[in-house]
């Protein structure tokens, strides 16, 4: 996104049932290895193909911390820079292997107020060529009204 596109969604403008535009991610060896190392996950299944194969996997695969980060990015790209992630609850399904493509999709399932927070719950799913890689729910706090510039 360019700087001109960075605007925050407002709680009053979000509706239950709203679909979040899909976000596609090419799953590359570089993405899998670099994000595993960045998250200090040195398990061989995330960077050593022969090592992963020795453990029964056809190739290296993405770690959960990378998936968690991609889900968070997906929601914050939609919600904007003033939004705050309050909760990310995900479950992994099939692996993300190099050469595949994952598409994240989301839908607002609830809008509620808790204390001074204005929260939106978003159901998220990421699917690749094998099936669902990730499913879960993200809760994001949004500003309640437009602020003056």
55 — phi, psi (to 5°)?
A: -95, 5
State how far the Cα of 106 lies from the Cα of 121, in Å rounded to an integer.
10
What is the chain's length?
Answer: 149
Q: Identify whether 149 is part of a domain.
A: no
Give the residue numbers spanning the domain of 89: 3-141
Q: Identify whether 47 is part of a domain.
A: yes
Residues 83-119: pLDDT tens digits? 999 999 999 999 999 999 999 999 999 999 999 999 9
Name the residue with tokens 């919600």.
79
Residues 9-45: pLDDT tens digits? 999 999 999 999 999 999 999 999 999 999 999 999 9
Q: What is the CATH number of the domain that holds 50?
A: 3.10.129.10
Answer yes or no: is pLDDT of 147 > 60: no
**What is the total count of domains within the chain?**
1
The pLDDT value recorded for residue 146 is 57
Q: Identify whether 147 is part of a domain.
A: no
Q: Identify whether 148 is part of a domain.
A: no
Three-state secondary structure call for residue 69:
helix
Answer yes or no: is pLDDT of 55 > 50: yes
pLDDT band at 2; cut points 50, 70, 90: very low
User: CB–CB of 83/120 below 8 Å?
Assistant: no
């Amino acid at each position: 996104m360019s700087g001109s596109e960075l605007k925050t969604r407002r709680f009053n403008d979000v509706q239950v049932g709203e679909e979040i535009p899909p976000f596609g991610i090419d799953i590359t060896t570089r993405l899998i290895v670099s994000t595993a190392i960045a998250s200090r996950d040195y398990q061989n299944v995330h960077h050593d193909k022969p090592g992963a194969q020795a453990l029964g996997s056809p190739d290296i695969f993405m770690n959960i911390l990378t998936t968690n980060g991609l889900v968070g990015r997906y929601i914050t790209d939609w919600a904007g820079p003033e939004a705050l992630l309050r909760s990310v609850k995900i479950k992994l399904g099939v692996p993300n292997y190099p050469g595949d493509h994952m598409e994240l999709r989301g839908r607002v399932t609830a809008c509620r107020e808790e204390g001074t927070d204005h929260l939106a719950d978003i159901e998220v799913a990421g699917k690749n060529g094998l099936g669902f890689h990730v499913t879960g729910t993200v809760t994001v706090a949004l500003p309640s009204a437009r602020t003056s510039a």
